[in-house]
Amino acid sequence: KNKEPPSHENLIYEIIEGHLRPLVEAHIAKHNHQSSENQNLEICGYEWWVHTRPRGANLGHNLHFDTDEALLSQQAKVTHPWYSSVLYLTGGSHAGPTLVLDQIPHATKVASRGWSNTPQNNSFLIFPGNMLHGVLPCRGDVDNDERAQAAASGDGERNCDSLPPQIQDLWEGSETQGTHKTKTEEDPDAHRLTFMVGFWCRRVPDQMKEQKLYGPCGALPPATDEHSWVQDIQKGYPSGGNQSQKSVPTNSQYLLVAHTVPSMSPVWQDIARTDTPIDAADEPAPALEIPHAIDHRFFVNGAPDCFTASLFEDIECSVKPSDNNEDADKKRE
């Protein structure tokens, strides 16, 4: 199709339309993911969000599915972007890897294969939007000597003073979360800053009963003093009051190198139940209890159903989930 280049409205729009979306579309075309069933599909919209964490908060991000949260709440239907993506901006050298598993909603078996992507600044990860994914924990900034000392102290009990303050707050449910000053505040690259985009082949807002500010697929807030970041991303663009188009290099002006993320198998390990002795002479081991604030579903019961069930934990559904969602998902894949 011959289309005139779009007039970029702001920095985010230019990043996605001028750089990321072409990469995703090129990936789809190269790997022939457009089968005879969905050859007429095309990207018609996208949802973006940002995550930032200091290196010391190294517990990763929970395993989850990207989904249309509005449709999930309204009709209990599990739908997903066509493709999900992660743009790694800062902190890559010390950040935890992104883990993608070959497990989709309503799967009857746990994933047998996974891909672990070690982040690098200015790199871009693309993967099918229906796959289970998250961020693995990483070592952070705790020195080996401190780790060894912490492991040996307290007769096997956890030494709170040896933990990074962000994790200590999460573990204890402290009301002073975020009040600790660390060296990560002085070094911008010490934060793991990522820009995520979900690319959809249907118009998600069309089925939303209500579109909330800062909610799922929410519209861009107005450029007011209350939303100063919106003013910042519009500087130098027509919507920001300057009619001169900002000149930013296109993908063709960069040397882009594509790599296949290495895979691994197996990705899950069965562990013995803790409520029964392994041997008749053994005492039952204490049950593993992980505080909710730091439970990222790396240790689970009831897999694989527990991951789909987790989608409904924090929402109110007007209808109950049904097995019909599986048929809907199959039509979308």
Q: Indicate the average pLDDT of the chain.
A: 75
Which of 195, 193, 184, 197 is closest to 90 using CA atoms? 193
Domain boundaries, the chain: 11-332
CA distances 199 to 28, 29, 36, 126, 129, Å, are 12, 15, 20, 10, 8
- Read out DSSP for 256-289? ----PPPEES--------SSS-SSTTSPPPPPP-
| 132 touches 98 (CB < 8 A) | no
The whole-number pLDDT of residue 57 equals: 65
Could you tell me the mean pLDDT of each successive run of 10 residues in the chain, 333 residues long?
A: 54 92 90 63 90 77 89 85 94 85 93 94 94 86 50 46 50 49 58 92 79 78 91 82 50 74 92 62 70 85 86 66 45 34
- What pLDDT digit, counting tens, does each position of 44-55 carry? 999 999 988 876
Global pTM exceeds 0.85 = no
Residue 88, amino acid: Y
The whole-number pLDDT of residue 50 equals: 92
The whole-number pLDDT of residue 9 equals: 84
The whole-number pLDDT of residue 204 equals: 81
Q: Mention every residue, 6+ apart, whose C-beta is less than 8 A from residue 51.
A: 61, 192, 193, 194, 196
The whole-number pLDDT of residue 70 equals: 81
- What pLDDT digit, counting tens, does each position of 66-108 carry? 998 888 888 888 889 999 999 999 887 778 899 999 999 989 9
Q: Mention every residue, 6+ apart, whose C-beta is less than 8 A from residue 39.
A: none
- What pLDDT digit, counting tens, does each position of 105-148 carry? 989 999 999 999 998 999 999 999 999 999 998 875 555 445 44
